[in-house]
């Protein structure tokens, strides 16, 4: 019987380091693919279309919603984010594992549709450090404050994930996530376990 891939979700508040952890995982674990999310937000400095995100217009995003093209989608701080169904299905059919780096709303939708998906919530060491990381992105104070308010709400959902990993040291957090994924690749979904 052909091996079908598994779905892994990495989630957490903006600025927590989930994108960097995801990039490290993709570089270090073979046979795992990242589904590139669509977004209507503008690219940040250093981001590239079809590598970091698919940057599309709100009009195009709404057309895709009508076509039921998304496995999950959400509106976060007036911008839309979504994972295309066909991307995930194609990877899984190929036997590849899929890594989704998505927000909390999206993670809840995926967990409901794919209960066997393994979800990992990345926590900041504390809110002061998170605010510092957000400020270092070069966004204005108003945007940083909005993201901090959202982060406080998202942190309340951490207990709904299979695993939580604190990113107080990027190398250590990456190693922990790598271990969770390697364990998950070789076994059935386990009961919830905190790390």
Tell me if 160 is assigned to some domain. Answer: yes
Tell me if 2 is assigned to some domain. Answer: no
Tell me if 153 is assigned to some domain. Answer: yes
Tell me if 190 is assigned to some domain. Answer: no
Q: Give the closest residue to 104 by CA, choosing from 75, 144, 139.
A: 75
Tell me if 191 is assigned to some domain. Answer: no
Q: Is the entire prediction scored with pTM above 0.85?
A: yes
Q: Which domain holds residue 140?
A: 7-185
Tell me if 193 is assigned to some domain. Answer: no
Between the alpha carbon of residue 76 and those of residues 26, 40, 79, 190, the distances in Å are 25, 10, 5, 30
Digitized pLDDT (tens) for each residue of the chain, 195 residues in all = 346 789 999 999 999 999 999 999 999 998 899 999 999 999 988 899 998 999 999 999 999 999 999 999 999 889 999 999 999 999 999 999 999 999 999 999 999 999 999 999 999 999 999 999 988 887 788 888 999 999 999 999 999 999 999 999 999 999 999 999 999 887 655 444 444
- How many domains, in total, are found in the chain? 1
CATH number of 128's domain: 3.40.50.300
């Amino acid at each position: 019987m052909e091996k079908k891939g598994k779905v892994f979700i990495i989630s957490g508040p903006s600025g927590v380091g989930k994108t960097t952890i995801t990039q490290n995982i993709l570089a270090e674990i073979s046979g795992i693919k990242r589904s590139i999310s669509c977004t209507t937000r503008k690219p940040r400095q250093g981001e590239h279309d079809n590598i970091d995100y698919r940057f599309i217009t709100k009009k195009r995003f709404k057309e895709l919603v009508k076509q039921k093209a998304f496995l999950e989608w959400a509106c976060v701080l007036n911008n839309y984010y979504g994972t295309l169904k066909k991307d995930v299905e194609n990877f899984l059919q190929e036997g590849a594992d899929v890594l989704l780096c998505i927000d909390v709303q999206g993670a809840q939708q995926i967990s409901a549709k794919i209960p066997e998906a393994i979800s990992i919530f990345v926590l900041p060491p504390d809110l002061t450090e998170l605010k510092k990381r957000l400020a270092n992105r070069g966004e204005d104070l108003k945007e940083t404050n909005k993201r901090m308010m959202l982060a406080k709400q998202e942190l309340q959902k951490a207990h709904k994930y299979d695993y939580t990993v604190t990113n107080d040291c990027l190398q250590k957090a990456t190693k922990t996530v790598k271990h969770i994924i390697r364990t998950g690749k070789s076994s059935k979904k386990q009961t919830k376990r905190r790390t």
